[in-house]
Structure 1
Amino acid sequence: MKKNIGFISTRFAGTDGVTLEASKWAQVLRAMGHNCYWLAGQLDKDGTKSMLVPEAFFQDTKNQWINSCVFGNKRRDHTVTDAIHEMKGFIKERIREFIRKFSIDLIVPENALTIPMHIPLGMAITEIIAETQIPTIAHHHDFYWERPRFSVNAVSDCLRMAFPPNIPGVEHVVINSAAQEELALRTGCSSIVIPNILDFENPPKTSLSSRFAIRNELGLEDDDIVFLQPTRIVQRKGIEHAIDLVRELDDPRCKLLISHEAGDEGFEYADWLRQTARESGVDLRLLNTRMRDPWNDACIEQPARSLLDIYPCADFVTYPSLYEGFGNAFLEAVYFNKPVLINRYAIFVRDIEPKGFDLIAMDGFLNGKTVGKVKEVLNSPQRMRRMVEHNFKIASRHYSYAVLRRWLNTLMVNFFGAESGENLHEPS
């Protein structure tokens, strides 16, 4: 049952959560025997299997103008409406071309029907589905109603139409149980929960020589204790708590390293973090380099460094997020056998914590007891080893590629039926 699958989004480039998860889905689908193709406004995929549509990028000038007119306002001018429909029509034609060029059997809109960063793109995809009835797995990461900046808007008609659409031929996939309930309540759409995943069947291969080489490149000493904040620099990541932790440890060997760039939501927060670190006497290191997607194995021209290089350099991972749709960085830390300080954000409490992970948790603020637990783990290799091995085993059961394979196989059978003799429980 080999199929041509088309991933569509505003961006498949860099290391944002949507791009990373799409790459993992593609890995699993290719292993199942399917072909994967890509359409987006920014791409770092194989050019022979992708279509770049710059107008579909959320930072396209015209799209940014549309967003500035419709969010924070309750009324939109007819010129904005005309611009939305004009852009929608152009992108629709490119999607049609994409489907024809690669003989696409099924599309996977990645967050493009979820959060209205690009309204014309979402509307174009919705109309294509309605007009062609092409089988669609709509992969939703974070909905517009979860973000305050979209609460006042002049496009409620567009949001009801396409974010997401309640039309035949669409299987909705969400990444947490709260989103599943809210989606059904608000739109009447049923969905399945497929959490973010990692290849726990194949643990990462790291070497001490590579670890020390990269630490040396970063200007770190052999005895430095590296706290890794493996996230983008945006306010909801709560990175100031990581600074507080390193300050409270009061050890000159402790360094805080942030792996990702700032920019998606401005640079003010990054500037404030630098100032806070200076005033706190914390050695803060920002990589300030574009990281590559380690699960994108279909592109040659990528930055040299990936998360696979950075995690082994760390001694401890900080993840004090205020809000997350799931928590990629948490899963990555477990995958790389790193102890984690985590803030008990809502989705973690509801979906992840009951699985029984052994973590150091904080409840919105850092206190002396939490700092003491961090010191205990750092000072006891035995305690650290028990912690990370326990966490890896739990994650292997709940968040491995095997979980995704089973769900994707079920969805494919729902659309296309099962071939004679096909194993429906564990695809090859």
Structure 2
Amino acid sequence: MSEEDNKRGHRIGFVGTRFAGTDGVSLEAAKWAKVLWHYRHTSYWFGGKLDTNPEVSMLVPHAYFGHPDIEWVNERSFGKITRDPEVTRRVFAIADHLKRSLYDFVRKFDIEILVVQNASCIPMNLPLGVAIALFCAETNFPTIAHHHDFYWERDRFTVNSVGDLLRMAFPCTMPCIQHVTINSEAQRALSHRRGVSSVLVPNVLDFEKQPTGIDDYNADFRQSIGLEPDDILFLQPTRVVPRKGIEHAIALIQSLGNPKCKLVVSHESGDEGNDYLNALQEMAEHQGVDLRYVPQSIGEERGVNEAGEKVYLLADAYAHADFITYPSLYEGFGNALIEAFYYRKPVLVNRYSIFVSDIEPKGFDVPTMNGFLTRDVTAKVKRIIDDPVYRQEMVDHNYELSLRFFSHAVLRRKLRALITNVTGLDDL
């Protein structure tokens, strides 16, 4: 690429199953695009479900993991150890269609660098991963593969009949691909399992920009979910799935013994059924904990829901929260933890492995537990609630550390190196 081309910025093609909504992959891809745009790089989007600008997007339904044909493949590929020949035939037939669509995408928008978002590491869409591998093998196209989750990190993919495809494409290890991992554990596993290096790029937030607080719209958030102004709002800002360890949040509030402490859960119970949610509600009732499950009141945009009730942003819930609970058993990174730092809220953390290896050593001040609640943890949380000076010093300290380690400035530096590796020019 010439120096003149370099000055105008490059045309970056994001490839994934879905760029829509508030899932972690979509949010991080949007952050990447925002930082790239700041340096004149234009982003284009290829996926099976999109809420991006149609003028810079190519919607290919079979790229979405929820497409019936992809679900058909998944049902016959995982939880089984033998594979029907028809599964193989369909995988490669759909992959051929998707590969041709990738060629069309690159030609239509004159793409210069591909950024694959999670589609080459977790086999939610086997044909798409195979298509990307074949495309890279045929073209040697400059590609950055951003890996959020690997299939070997998920129990549901352990038993499968597609080991050959997983080794081929999840991830593909062609020389044209630069690999990006989001934590050091994944970085080590990728090196061990595939023999390739990767660049560690943590998930980030825009700490250079101060968060919005309580405003005219969200001023009535507490009232709308049935809380009193002097209630102590403990926010669990996650989906309701077992690995989030929400039973520990209930145990914490029960141990505090303060009826003004209320637990508010912001997100749906996810795609694993309602058994866990029902168990949590029974547990809370048995332990005398006021649990408010309010996903109907929190959405991607402010407005009203189908019942005509006011809908708030998750940021509005953070603005009103007094304390964040994050007792997860496992996390790929921990976006909600970084959000707690961003909104300057104290947060309880269960010391999941990525927190121990990548976040805790930075020096953050948070009450932590090791799989179970202790009196010391409860005492520290009580002090945080009762001592506003101590609390403010804690959250300010965490914000300043996050500014250094998890801000857009960090992402700018990392993307600068990745793009320079392709162009050979220091263009960011």
Tell whether the structures are fold-level matches, with TM greater than 0.5: yes
Q: Is the 8 A contact 1:14 1:293 kept in 2?
A: no
Q: Is the 8 A contact 1:39 1:51 kept in 2?
A: yes
* Superposition pairs of residues 2-401 of structure 1, within 5 angstroms: 2-207=9-214, 209-289=216-296, 291-292=299-300, 305-401=312-408
Question: Partners in 1 of 2:229 and 2:268 — Cα distance?
Answer: 25
Question: Partners in 2 of 1:20 and 1:306 — Cα distance?
Answer: 15
TM-superposed deviation, 1:158: 0.4
Question: Partners in 1 of 2:104 and 2:299 — Cα distance?
Answer: 31
Where 1:236 maps in the other structure, the secondary structure is: helix
Structure 1 outlier segments of 4+, above 6 Å = none
How large is the Cα RMSD of the aligned pairs? 1.8
Question: Partners in 1 of 2:181 and 2:325 — Cα distance?
Answer: 25
**Quick one: which amino acid aligns to residue 307 of structure 1?**
L
Question: Partners in 2 of 1:63 and 1:108 — Cα distance?
Answer: 22
Describe the superposition over 1:284-306 as per-residue Cα deviations: whole angstroms up to 9, x where unpaired.
Answer: 22222463289xxxxxxxx9643
Instruction: Identify if the C-alpha distance between structure 1 residues 304 and 94 changes in structure 2 by more than 3 Å, giving closer, same or farther.
Output: farther
Under a length normalisation based on structure 2, what TM-score does the superposition of the two structures give?
0.92
**Quick one: which amino acid aligns to residue 228 of structure 1?**
L
Describe the superposition over 1:144-172 as per-residue Cα deviations: whole angstroms up to 9, x where unpaired.
Answer: 11112111111010000110011011000
Q: Is the 8 A contact 2:221 2:312 kept in 1?
A: no
TM-superposed deviation, 1:190: 0.8
Where 1:38 maps in the other structure, the secondary structure is: strand
Describe the superposition over 1:259-313 as per-residue Cα deviations: whole angstroms up to 9, x where unpaired.
Answer: 222233333322322232222222222222463289xxxxxxxx96433222102
Q: Is the 8 A contact 2:301 2:311 kept in 1?
A: no
Instruction: Identify if the C-alpha distance between structure 1 residues 137 and 35 changes in structure 2 by more than 3 Å, giving closer, same or farther.
Output: same
**Quick one: which amino acid aligns to residue 299 of structure 2?**
M
Structure 1 residues without counterparts, runs of 5 or longer? 295-302
Where 1:365 maps in the other structure, the secondary structure is: coil
Question: Partners in 2 of 1:246 and 1:14 — Cα distance?
Answer: 31
Number of matched pairs: 413
Describe the superposition over 1:82-124 as per-residue Cα deviations: whole angstroms up to 9, x where unpaired.
Answer: 1211221222222222222222111111111111111111111
Q: Percent identity?
A: 51
Question: Partners in 1 of 2:275 and 2:62 — Cα distance?
Answer: 27
Instruction: Identify if the C-alpha distance between structure 1 residues 72 and 396 changes in structure 2 by more than 3 Å, giving closer, same or farther.
Output: same
Question: Partners in 2 of 1:267 and 1:32 — Cα distance?
Answer: 45
TM-superposed deviation, 1:8: 1.4
Where 1:6 maps in the other structure, the secondary structure is: strand
Where 2:110 maps in the other structure, the secondary structure is: coil
Describe the superposition over 1:331-387 as per-residue Cα deviations: whole angstroms up to 9, x where unpaired.
Answer: 000000000000001111111111000000000011222111111100010010000
Where 2:34 maps in the other structure, the secondary structure is: helix
Question: Partners in 1 of 2:158 and 2:355 — Cα distance?
Answer: 24
Question: Partners in 2 of 1:250 and 1:187 — Cα distance?
Answer: 51
Instruction: Identify if the C-alpha distance between structure 1 residues 268 and 43 changes in structure 2 by more than 3 Å, giving closer, same or farther.
Output: farther
TM-superposed deviation, 1:39: 1.8
Under a length normalisation based on structure 1, what TM-score does the superposition of the two structures give?
0.92
Where 1:364 maps in the other structure, the secondary structure is: coil
